[in-house]
Chain A
Amino acid sequence: NAGVTQTPKFQVLKTGQSMTLQCAQDMNHEYMSWYRQDPGMGLRLIHYSVGAGITDQGEVPNGYNVSRSTTEDFPLRLLSAAPSQTSVYFCASSYRDGAYEQYFGPGTRLTVT
């Protein structure tokens, strides 16, 4: 099993550009989520999904869109990149929503200039 994979590993965007961060898992997990990690802030939940076709907002959803058309994939779209979105982004998955281990991907380091 590859676990949770994320692409790209690094990305530089100019203000106003859009892009999609890819996330895939091969563990047949129902629950998937996106976090951003900033120094001194821990991990903050952006969006999450409890199954294909179901998504909801987390703590910091503004400026981001998600969709979940399949169990495996959960892409994160930045609509119009801003310098405040410079961060490291992690995708995670778990068996179900609840007290289950979350498996994290390796992360995408995004810089917006």
Chain B
Amino acid sequence: QQQVKQSPQSLIVQKGGISIINCAYENTAFDYFPWYQQFPGKGPALLIAIRPDVSEKKEGRFTISFNKSAKQFSLHIMDSQPGDSATYFCAAGWGKLQFGAGTQVVVTP
């Protein structure tokens, strides 16, 4: 069973818009919540990560919001650009990561 549920499966956003991807986890022992970005034909690469002692982390146009009580976290991509078109995976765990199913983001010009 998938311990990390990710939605939506895909989304289309206009250039300059906001992309929001949500994830929910079940295991309260999870202590590390990274987001990975994957371009076609490439391996995933770490985008941003958060630990549960903070509720938000921002790096440039990318922000993670974390709600420990609801066991949910989300990725916000502000001012989306065509170069952000990729598949995004949330993950949770400690070393041994459980990954979400992925969200394909398409940013239209």
Interface set of A (CB-CB < 8 Å, partner B): 4, 31, 33, 35, 40-45, 48, 50, 58-59, 90, 92, 94, 96-102, 104-107
Residues of the A chain whose Cβ atoms lie less than 8 Å from the Cβ of B4: 42
Q: Nearest Cβ distance between residue B92 and chain A, in whole angstroms? A: 11
Contacting pair A43 B89 (CB below 8 A): yes
Q: Nearest Cβ distance between residue B60 and chain A, in whole angstroms? A: 17
Contacting pair B44 A98 (CB below 8 A): no
Residues of the A chain whose Cβ atoms lie less than 8 Å from the Cβ of B101: 40-42
Contacting pair A42 B95 (CB below 8 A): no
Residues of the B chain whose Cβ atoms lie less than 8 Å from the Cβ of A43: 44, 89, 91, 97, 99
Closest residue to A45 on the B side, CB-wise?
B96
Q: Let me know if B83 is at the binding interface, CB within 8 A.
A: no
Q: Let me know if B51 is at the binding interface, CB within 8 A.
A: yes
Closest residue to B32 on the A side, CB-wise?
A99
Contacting pair B99 A58 (CB below 8 A): no
Known: A48-B95, A105-B43. 14 other contacts (CB 8 A): A33-B96, A42-B4, A42-B99, A43-B44, A90-B44, A94-B95, A96-B95, A98-B32, A99-B94, A100-B95, A101-B34, A102-B34, A104-B36, A107-B43
Residues of the A chain whose Cβ atoms lie less than 8 Å from the Cβ of B49: 99, 101
Residues of the A chain whose Cβ atoms lie less than 8 Å from the Cβ of B36: 104
The answer for the CA separation of A92 and B43 in the assembled complex, in Å, is: 9
By the criterion of a CB under 8 Å from any partner CB, how many residues of chain B are at the interface?
Answer: 27
The answer for the CA separation of A102 and B99 in the assembled complex, in Å, is: 12
The answer for the CA separation of A85 and B49 in the assembled complex, in Å, is: 30
Pairs A–B under 8 Å by Cβ, sample size 29: A31-B95, A33-B96, A41-B101, A42-B2, A42-B4, A42-B6, A42-B100, A42-B102, A43-B44, A43-B91, A43-B97, A44-B99, A45-B97, A45-B98, A48-B95, A48-B96, A58-B96, A59-B98, A90-B43, A92-B43, A97-B96, A98-B95, A99-B49, A100-B95, A102-B97, A106-B42, A106-B43, A107-B41, A107-B42
Q: Let me know if B45 is at the binding interface, CB within 8 A.
A: yes
